[in-house]
């Protein structure tokens, strides 16, 4: 059987600031058979998206295909003119982007964007295209298939947009669809619906696919074959079952090991006297104009009460919109709570950070999810770490230099990075700097808001290890906010499940790992497993899904 796609010795170059060209894809060979779904897996920077895009003859600005050939249904995309490539794009090969929210034009109606492919390639009259789009919406289990197209992108949810993006890719009956991390931005409960819809449509129409992801468990559910990439080179290629059961390459094994549950290990502070560190009572916070009752119009957190003892960690999980980040911001005083009390180490905290004393601010640090936006890109690592040292501890000159070195040591960053700016660091390194900055304050409590969500699995695991280590050495406490159950389980003594602004359940894994509340059950069961048959075997109560999944 002839292959649909044959990639031979593909090389892609990128241009650096200094105008130097460097090779980021270093000679790749890859075949895709008709109807076959191949997953490209690797961490960020491995070149997986770059390779996928070359199948459409596309390289992002600043990049250039510098060698090799990419043959799609007999045509070498590298050799074609831009106009000829445009004829292939959307028609024979189509693309489902990582973030449909960003990839849909905000100022145009969805239906127009979905059928635009048929207009560009003059495939069918608009009316017919609309009908086809509606049938695809139906096949992808979108609600209100007849009406959803007339909305604007901002009027539908993320999970729906992702499926609409798939409909957009499928409307031209392509031979191959490229999925670029299509579910990464989704909540776990939503992800299942989307994955199921994709899988069903692909199998039914026998379309080949390239599935780009960093998440082995997700890939396992959908791919026939897995290509493991690292640094622009193929590490291992094998069938899905083979990879999961018998990975040959050490890097693949490292990826797999990140999924193994790790023992939490008994906290050394546990033996110490248990004293409440942070207490939250009846906290209400939200946005919008203040109503006559003194509360905001939109209450993102409603009457949350928590308690955390010194040396222990509290996990808060929930899906997007559940109020977990708002809760974190209220605790940190960024978004002053409208009602309720906060007590840190026996002293009451003012709702707003502005009213808290410098000492109180120092004791409670917050670390944000996106290291990219939490580190000032214009400053060197040295300056970023040096500021809290000066600000809280008045450290100067030599003492500060020494302390910066110590901090970098603690978070395992090479000293050579001191004068670099954040843009020159990898994602994991940035998150370590982000964390080190909080450590520099010598706090009692660190609120970690989704700090591993933007990281690759392997890197995230390493950061979690670091957190644990720091806790042992510095007797810290963490409030760990995440949507990722496995991460929370790995580090927390207590887990609070939030839904729709309210705390629905509090679980102590050491005592019982089984959730009681129906939402918690649904949430826990939605986390993908490495087992390829997990998705097909998973059964969910439709009523429960209807109640709790916005999807």
Partner 1 sequence: MRNYVLGLITNRLGSAALTLLIVSFAVFFATAMLPGDTATILLGQAATPEAVAGLRAAMHLDEPAFFRFARWLFGLLQGDLGTSYVNNVPVAELIGARFVNTMRLAGIVTLFAVPLSLTLGITAAMFRGSVYDRIVTVLTIGVISVPEFMIATSAVLLFSVYLKWLPALSFASDVTSFWQVLKIYAMPVITLTFVVSAQMIRMTRAAVIDTINTPYVEAAILKGASRRRAVLVHALPNAVGPIANAIALSLSYLVGGVIIVETIFNYPGIAKLMVDGVSTRDLPLIQSCAIIFCIGYLALITFADIVAILANPRVR
Partner 2 sequence: MTTSTTMSRSTGYRFSWIGMIGFAIILFWAIIAFLAPHIIPYPVGEIVDEDYFGPMSSKLLLGSDYLGRDMLSRIIMGARYTVGISLAAVCLACFSGAALGMAAAVIGGWFDTVLSRFLDALNSIPSKLSGLVVAAAVGSSLPVLIIMLGVIYIPGAYRFARSLAVNVNTMDYITVARTRGEGIPYVVFSEILPNIIGPLLADFGIRFVFIVLLLSGLSFLGLGVQPPYADWGALVHENIGGLPFGAPAVIVPSLAIASLTISVNLLIDNLPKKIRDRSA
- CA geometry: angle 463, 235, 244, nearest 5 deg: 75
Q: Three-class SS of residue 277?
A: strand
For partner 2, the closer CB: 211 or 368: 368
Closest CA to 249 of 239, 270, 234: 234
Give the strand pairing for 225-230 and 233-239: antiparallel
User: Least distance (Å) from partner 2 to the CB of residue 447?
Assistant: 10
Taking the mean position of all CA atoms in its chain, how far away is CA 383?
28
Query: Residue 494 CB: number of other CB atoms within 10 A?
Result: 21
For partner 1, the closer CB: 4 or 59: 59
For residues 514 and 23, give the distance between their C-alpha atoms in angstroms, rounded to a whole number. 49
CA distances (Å), origin 50, targets 28, 412, 497 = 11, 30, 38
Out of partner 1, partner 2, none, what residue 117 binds, judged by CB under 5 to 8 A for its kind, is: partner 1
- Residue 191 is given by DSSP the state H
Out of partner 2, partner 1, none, what residue 333 binds, judged by CB under 5 to 8 A for its kind, is: partner 2
User: Least distance (Å) from partner 1 to the CB of residue 251?
Assistant: 29
Out of partner 2, partner 1, none, what residue 543 binds, judged by CB under 5 to 8 A for its kind, is: none
User: Least distance (Å) from partner 1 to the CB of residue 83?
Assistant: 8
CA distances (Å), origin 11, targets 75, 129, 469 = 18, 38, 41
For residues 42 and 40, give the distance between their C-alpha atoms in angstroms, rounded to a whole number. 7
CA dihedral (345, 350, 353, 355) positive or negative: negative
User: Least distance (Å) from partner 2 to the CB of residue 387?
Assistant: 8
Out of partner 1, partner 2, none, what residue 373 binds, judged by CB under 5 to 8 A for its kind, is: partner 2
Q: Which residues bind partner 1 (CB under 8 A)?
A: 53, 56, 58, 60-61, 83, 86-91, 94-95, 97, 99, 102-108, 116-117, 120-121, 152, 154, 168
For partner 2, the closer CB: 352 or 547: 352
For residues 437 and 507, give the distance between their C-alpha atoms in angstroms, rounded to a whole number. 31
User: Least distance (Å) from partner 2 to the CB of residue 191?
Assistant: 24
For partner 2, the closer CB: 19 or 397: 19
The token duo for 5 is: 């796609």
Out of partner 1, partner 2, none, what residue 108 binds, judged by CB under 5 to 8 A for its kind, is: partner 1
For partner 1, the closer CB: 104 or 435: 104
Q: Which residues bind partner 2 (CB under 8 A)?
A: 14, 16-20, 22, 24-25, 44-50, 60, 62-63, 231-232, 332-334, 353-354, 356, 358, 361, 366, 368, 370, 373-379, 387-388, 391-392, 416-417, 420-421, 423-424, 426, 437, 441
User: Least distance (Å) from partner 1 to the CB of residue 176?
Assistant: 13
For partner 1, the closer CB: 165 or 192: 165
For residues 216 and 193, give the distance between their C-alpha atoms in angstroms, rounded to a whole number. 18
User: Least distance (Å) from partner 1 to the CB of residue 28?
Assistant: 20
User: Least distance (Å) from partner 2 to the CB of residue 150?
Assistant: 31
- CA geometry: angle 131, 99, 163, nearest 5 deg: 30
Out of partner 1, partner 2, none, what residue 334 binds, judged by CB under 5 to 8 A for its kind, is: partner 2
Please, which residues have CB within 8 angstroms of residue 49's CB and are 6 or more apart in sequence? Answer: 98, 180, 181, 212
Out of partner 1, partner 2, none, what residue 106 binds, judged by CB under 5 to 8 A for its kind, is: partner 1
For partner 2, the closer CB: 279 or 374: 374
Element (H, E) at 478: strand 477-482
Buried b (16+ CB within 10 A) or exposed e, 228-239: bbbebebbbbbe
Out of partner 1, partner 2, none, what residue 47 binds, judged by CB under 5 to 8 A for its kind, is: partner 2
For partner 1, the closer CB: 174 or 311: 174
For partner 1, the closer CB: 165 or 433: 165
Q: Three-class SS of residue 299?
A: strand
User: Least distance (Å) from partner 2 to the CB of residue 349?
Assistant: 12
For residues 341 and 351, give the distance between their C-alpha atoms in angstroms, rounded to a whole number. 8
């Amino acid at each position: 059987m002839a292959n649909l796609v044959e990639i031979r010795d593909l090389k892609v170059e990128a241009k650096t600031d200094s105008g130097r060209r460097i090779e980021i894809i270093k000679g790749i060979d890859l075949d895709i058979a008709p109807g076959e779904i191949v997953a490209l897996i690797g961490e960020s920077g491995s070149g997986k998206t770059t390779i996928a895009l070359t199948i459409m003859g596309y390289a992002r600005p600043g990049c250039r295909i510098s060698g090799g050939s990419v043959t799609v249904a007999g045509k070498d995309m590298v050799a074609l003119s831009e106009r000829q490539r445009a004829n292939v794009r959307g028609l024979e090969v189509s693309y489902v982007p990582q973030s449909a929210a960003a990839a849909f034009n905000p100022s145009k109606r969805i239906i127009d964007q979905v059928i635009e492919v048929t207009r560009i390639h003059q495939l069918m009259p608009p009316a017919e295209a609309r009908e086809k789009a509606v049938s695809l919406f139906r096949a992808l289990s979108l609600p209100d298939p007849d009406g959803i197209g007339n909305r604007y992108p901002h009027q539908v949810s993320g999970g729906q947009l992702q499926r609409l993006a798939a409909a957009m890719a499928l409307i031209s009956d392509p031979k191959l669809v490229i999925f670029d991390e299509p579910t990464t931005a989704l909540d776990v409960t939503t992800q299942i619906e989307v994955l199921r819809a994709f899988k069903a449509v692909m199998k039914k129409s026998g379309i080949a696919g390239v599935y780009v992801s960093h998440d082995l468990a997700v890939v396992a559910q959908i791919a026939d074959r897995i290509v493991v990439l690292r640094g622009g080179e193929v590490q291992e290629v094998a069938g899905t079952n083979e990879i999961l059961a018998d990975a040959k390459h050490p890097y693949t094994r490292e990826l797999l090991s990140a999924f193994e549950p790790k023992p939490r290990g008994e906290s050394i502070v546990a033996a110490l006297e248990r004293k409440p560190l942070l207490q939250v009572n009846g906290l209400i916070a939200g946005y919008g104009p203040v109503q006559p009752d003194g509360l905001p119009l939109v209450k993102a957190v409603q009457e949350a009460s928590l308690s955390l003892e010194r040396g222990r960690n509290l996990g808060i999980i929930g899906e997007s919109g559940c109020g977990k980040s708002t809760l974190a911001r209220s605790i940190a005083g960024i978004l002053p709570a409208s009602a309720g009390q906060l007590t840190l180490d026996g002293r009451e905290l003012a709702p707003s950070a502005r009213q808290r004393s410098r000492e109180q601010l120092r004791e409670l640090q917050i670390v944000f999810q996106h290291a990219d936006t939490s580190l000032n890109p214009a400053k060197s690592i040295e300056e970023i770490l040096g500021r809290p040292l000066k600000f809280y501890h008045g450290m100067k000159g030599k003492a500060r230099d020494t302390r910066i070195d110590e901090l970098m040591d603690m978070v395992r960053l090479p000293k050579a990075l001191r004068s670099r700016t954040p843009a020159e660091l990898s994602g994991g390194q940035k998150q370590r700097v982000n964390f080190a900055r909080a450590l520099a304050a010598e706090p009692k409590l660190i609120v970690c808001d989704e700090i591993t969500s933007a990281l690759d699995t392997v890197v995230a695991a390493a950061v979690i290890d670091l957190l644990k280590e720091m806790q042992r050495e510095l007797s810290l406490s963490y409030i760990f906010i995440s949507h990722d159950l496995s991460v929370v389980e790995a580090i927390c003594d207590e887990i609070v499940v939030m839904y729709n602004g309210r705390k629905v359940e509090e679980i102590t894994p050491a005592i019982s790992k089984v959730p009681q509340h129906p939402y918690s059950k649904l949430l826990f069961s939605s986390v993908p497993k490495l087992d390829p048959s997990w998705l097909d075997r998973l059964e969910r109560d439709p009523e429960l899904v209807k109640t709790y999944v916005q999807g």
